[in-house]
A and B are shown apart, each in its own frame.
Chain A
C-alpha cells in the first residue's frame, strides 16, 4: 500500500506542473494586468507601463515562468502583486476556514445522505421513499447560493440565532463553529441530495444480488443483511462521489463564501482572478490541485477497506 501511495504521489507531479503551466500562461492571455488594477481608472498609460516594469511584468514570459517555478520548488509562493503581502501566511490563514467548510459540509452530506438513501432503498416505493426522493431532487435543483440566502433569511434574520457574516476568529473554536453552521448546511444539504440518490441506486442494485438473497435465506437479521452485506458493498461508488464532491466543494464554495462573507480559499482565488494577481492565482491553484490529488488518493486507499479483493501492490 505504501508503494502504491508513493507511486500515486509521484504521478501527481506532472499533473501539478501541467496545472501551474496552464494557469500561468492562460492568465496572461486574459486582458488586464495587476498594474492596471492597482492604478484603476486614474492611471495614465505611462504610469501603467512604469508600474508594469516595476512589477517585472515587461520581462519575457519564459523568464517570469521559470522564475516562478524556481520559487515554487524552493517553497516560496512569492508576494501578491497588489498588496505586496507574502502569499503563504495569507493562504495558511484562509486554509482552516476552507477546511472547516469542506469537512463539515461533507460530514453533513454523509450523515444525512447515506441514511436517507438506505431508508429510501430498503423501503422502496413507500411514503418514506417518495419523500426522500422528492427532497433529494429539490436539493439537487437548488443552487447553493440560493439556499444560502434562504438559510440566512430564516436563521440569521427572522430567527437571529446564527451570525450573518464572517468566519469567526481562528483561535475561537466556538465562534468558528457558530459561523460554520449555516454555510456548512447550505453546501452539505445539496451534496446530501446527491449522496442520497447515489446510495439508493447502489443499494437497490446490491439488495437484488444473489448473496443478499442467500444471507436472508440463512435467516440473518435484516439489520445484518443491510449493514454488513449490502451497505459495505454499496459504499465504493458512494465514497467515490463523496471524494469527488470534496474537491468540487473546495473550489465551488466560493459562492457560499461570498454570500456569508466568509474567508476561504475560494474567495481568495476569485478575488485574485478579478484583480489579475497572478502569483496568488498560481499558488492557490497549486494548493487546489494538490488537495484534489490527495483526496483521490485517500479514496483509492479507502476502497481497500470496503473490498478486501482490492490489492495495491
Chain B
C-alpha cells in the first residue's frame, strides 16, 4: 500500500517536472533577447487610454509616447522646461504682430506623416489646434485665448489671440494639445484614432496590446535624421514588485520609478542610475474654507504651524524632494519664496487654535485615494494634527472615486499633487481663481473656494510687461499664503531609473534636467551603447 501511494505521488511529480523541463529547454530565456537598438521602457500605469493628443495624454504614461510619435510647431529644448529654450520644430520660424496678438508660423516643407499619410501642411496644424477648442477636450481651457486660426497657404499658419499672452508658445509646443496630428488619419480612423496615432515624430506607432505594451518603430524618413533606435517598447507594469523585478532582470532598460528613495535604492543594486526630472511634482494640502472652522484664518494658520514639512520629506526621501513654501512651486515662471511662512511650531499652532476657540479640538473629513503615495502622506498629516487635537477622519477610496468626490466638496482637507506647465498663471488660475472653484460649471481644482485674487490673476495674465507681471504674481502668492489657503508640503522630482548603456545625448551637461512630459526625451539621437 505504501509503495502504491509513493508510486502515484512520484508519477505526478515526474510528469510535472518533465513537462517543465521540456518547455524550459525548448525556449530561450527572455533575458537573452537582443538589446540591439531596441529600447524597452516601463511605466507605473497599468494601461493607457488614448494616444490622440487633443483627447488624451491625461495619464502620466501617455505624454512620453506622444512626445515620441508627434511634434509641435515648436519644441522645448530636450531636457529643459524653460520657455526661453523654445526651438523650431514643425515651424521653421515665426513672427508676431506689433500688438503681439497675431502670430504667424512658417512651416517646414517636406515633412512626412508616418505610414504614408502625406506631407504635413498648415491644414493639419489648423485642424489639430482647433480640435483643442472642442468642448470635450481636456485642454480646452488652455486654448480659450485663441480667437482664430487661419491657414493662408500650404506652409503658413496664423494664430490670432484675444489677449496678448507672454506664454502662448507653450500651446503650440510639444506638450498636451500642442502636438500636431494628421488630419487625414483622424478622418480615416474616427473614434479609433486614439489607438491608431499618426504623427511626424522620430518613432511611429506599430501596435498596442491592452494592459501590456505599446510598440513603436523607427521613422526612417524623420526630418531631423534617421533615428538610431530601431524599436521602442513601452510596457505597462503597474505592480511595484513586478516592475522592480523587471528592472533587475533587465527585461527593461528604463523605468519610471516609484517616487520613493527606498525603491530607487533597491533597484540601484542592479546597476541602474537614477534620473530626477524637474520641475517636479509639488504637493499641497488644500483647506476648504467654506467648512467651519476652516473659515477662520486663525485656524488655518494654526494648521500651517502644526504641519511639519520635514517629516514628509523624510517619508518620501530627502534626496528626491525639496522644500516648497509658496503656492507656485520653485522653477515655475513667477514663483517667489518671499511669502509669509509657517515653520513647524506646535506652541504657536496651539495658541492660534486657542485664540480661535478651538483648543479643545475638532474633526475634519478627508477623502483619500488608496494610492500609497497619497494615503501615506495623509496618514502622516493625521498623526501631526492629532498633536493639536485635530482629528482627521480619513475616507480611503479608489483613485477614480477620489477625483470625483473631491470635486463634489466631500472633503474638508484635500491632498493634491500636480505637474503643470511651469507658469504661475496656470497654477494660480486652476487652483485659486474663483472660476475654478469646484461645484461651478467652470470648475477645475480650486478646492479651497478662494476668491480674493481673481482681479490680480487676470491683470497679471494680460499685462505686456514681464517685470510688472512677476510683481503681480508675487503679490498674489503673498496674499494666498497670508490667508493660509494651502499648506505646502514638498516638491518631488519625477524619478526614473535607467541602465547606463542607454545614452541620452541631449541631457549631457544639464545638471538638473526637466521635462513636461514625465520622461526624458527619447529622440533620434538616443541609443544603446
B98 interfacial contact with A, CB 8 Å: no
A259 to B137 alpha-carbon distance, docked (Å): 34
- Check if B27 is an interface residue, CB within 8 A of chain A: yes
- Whether A235 sits at the interface, judged by CB under 8 Å, is no
For window 249-298 of A, CB contacts with B under 8 Å fall at: 258-261, 263, 267-268, 271, 274-276
The answer to whether A164 and B246 touch (CB under 8 A), given A30-B401, A36-B404, is yes
- A276 to B400 Cα, complex, angstroms: 8
**Which residues of chain B have C-beta atoms less than 8 A from A178's C-beta?**
23-24, 26-27
Q: Does B16 contact A (CB under 8 A)?
A: yes
- Could you tell me if A177 and B403 are in contact, using CB atoms closer than 8 angstroms? no
Docked pose: A149 CA to B138 CA in angstroms: 38
Interface hit among A15-23, A70-78, A82-90: A82-90
Bound form: Cα–Cα A259–B1 in Å: 42
A275 touches B8 (CB 8 A): no
Q: Is A300 part of the contact surface with B, judged by Cβ < 8 Å?
A: no
A110-142: contact bitstring with B at CB < 8 Å (1 yes, 0 no)?
011001101100110010100000000000000
* Cα–Cα distance between A116 and B16 once the two chains are bound (Å): 14
* Closest Cβ neighbor of B2 among chain A residues: A123
Per-residue contact bits, chain A 44-67, to B (CB 8 Å; 1 contact, 0 not)? 111101110010000000000000
10 pairs, A vs B, C-beta closer than 8 Å: A83-B49, A84-B191, A112-B12, A157-B245, A174-B27, A223-B4, A261-B212, A261-B242, A268-B210, A274-B399
**Cα distance, A242 to B93, chains bound together (Å):** 70
A161 in the interface, Cβ–Cβ < 8 Å? yes
Contacts of A96 in B (CB 8 A): none
CB distance from A131 to the nearest CB of B (A): 11
Please tell me which one of the listed residues B16, B49, B405 contacts residue A108 in the complex, with CB atoms under 8 A apart.
B16
Of the residues B209, B401, B418, B441, contact of A41 by C-beta under 8 Å: B418
Query: CB within 8 A of B12: which of A41, A111, A162?
Result: A111
Any B CB within 8 A of the CB of A69: no
Q: In the complex, which residue of chain A has the Cβ closest to the Cβ of B46?
A: A271
Determine if B528 is an interface residue (Cβ-Cβ < 8 Å): no
**A39 beta carbon closer than 8 Å to chain B:** yes
Which residue of chain A is the closest to B405 with respect to CB atoms? A31
Contact A39/B58 with A83-B49, A122-B2, A275-B49 known, Cβ cut-off 8 Å: yes
Q: Which of the 9-residue segments B147-155, B442-450, B461-469 touches chain A? A: B442-450
Which residues of A are found within 8 Å of B116, using beta-carbon distances?
A: none
How long is the Cα–Cα vector from A276 to B55 in the complex, in angstroms?
18
Interface string of B378-421 (1 = CB under 8 A from A): 00000000000000000001111101110110000000001000
Chain A residues within 8 Å of B, Cβ to Cβ: 30-33, 36-47, 49-51, 54, 82-85, 90, 108, 111-112, 115-116, 118-119, 122-123, 126, 128, 149, 152-153, 156-157, 160-167, 174-175, 177-178, 181, 222-223, 226, 258-261, 263, 267-268, 271, 274-276
B194 x A84 contact (CB < 8 A): yes
Known contacts A41-B418, A157-B248; decide if A174 and B137 are in contact (CB<8 Å).
Answer: no
Chain B nearest CB from A126 CB (Å) reads 8
Contact between chains at A174 and B23 (CB < 8 Å) = yes
Interface of chain A: mostly helix, strand, loop or mixed: helix
How many Cβ-Cβ contacts under 8 Å join chain A to chain B? 201
Q: Which A residues touch B30, using CB under 8 A?
A: 163-164, 166
A47 touches B137 (CB 8 A): yes
Q: For chain B, which range describes its interface: under 10, 10 to 19, 20 to 34, or 35 or more residues?
A: 35 or more
CB proximity of A160 to chain B, nearest CB, Å: 5
Q: Chain B residues with Cβ under 8 A from A128's Cβ?
A: 5-6
Complex interface: chain B residues within 8 A of A156 (CB): 245, 249
- Given contacts A160-B249, A268-B210, A85 and B135 within 8 Å (CB-CB): no
Decide: A45 near B407, CB < 8 A? Known: A32-B401, A85-B195, A162-B29. yes
Contacts A45-B442, A46-B135 hold; do A152 and B23 have CB atoms under 8 A apart? no
B50 at the interface (CB under 8 A from A): yes
For the complex, is B141 an interface residue (Cβ under 8 Å from A)?
yes
A233–B436 CA distance with the chains assembled, in angstroms: 71
- A-B pairs, top 8 by smallest CB distance, nearest first, are A40-B58, A32-B400, A222-B1, A45-B443, A50-B135, A119-B5, A32-B404, A31-B404
Q: Is the CB of B138 within 8 A of A275?
A: no
In the assembled complex, which residues on chain B have CB atoms less than 8 Å from the CB atom of A33? 404
- Are B192 and A84 touching (Cβ within 8 A)? yes
Chain B 198-209 against A: per-residue CB contact (8 Å), 1 yes, 0 no? 000000000001
Which B residues touch A123, using CB under 8 A?
Answer: 1-2, 5
Most buried by B among A83, A260, A261: A261
Residues in chain B near residue A111, CB distance under 8 A? 12, 15-16
- B471 interface residue per 8 A CB criterion: no
B139: which A residues are within 8 A, CB to CB? 42
Least CB distance, A213 to chain B, in whole angstroms? 15
Judge whether B16 and A44 touch: CB under 8 Å.
Answer: no
How does the 8 Å CB contact mask read for B33-61 relative to A, with 1 for contact and 0 for none?
00000000000001101100001101100
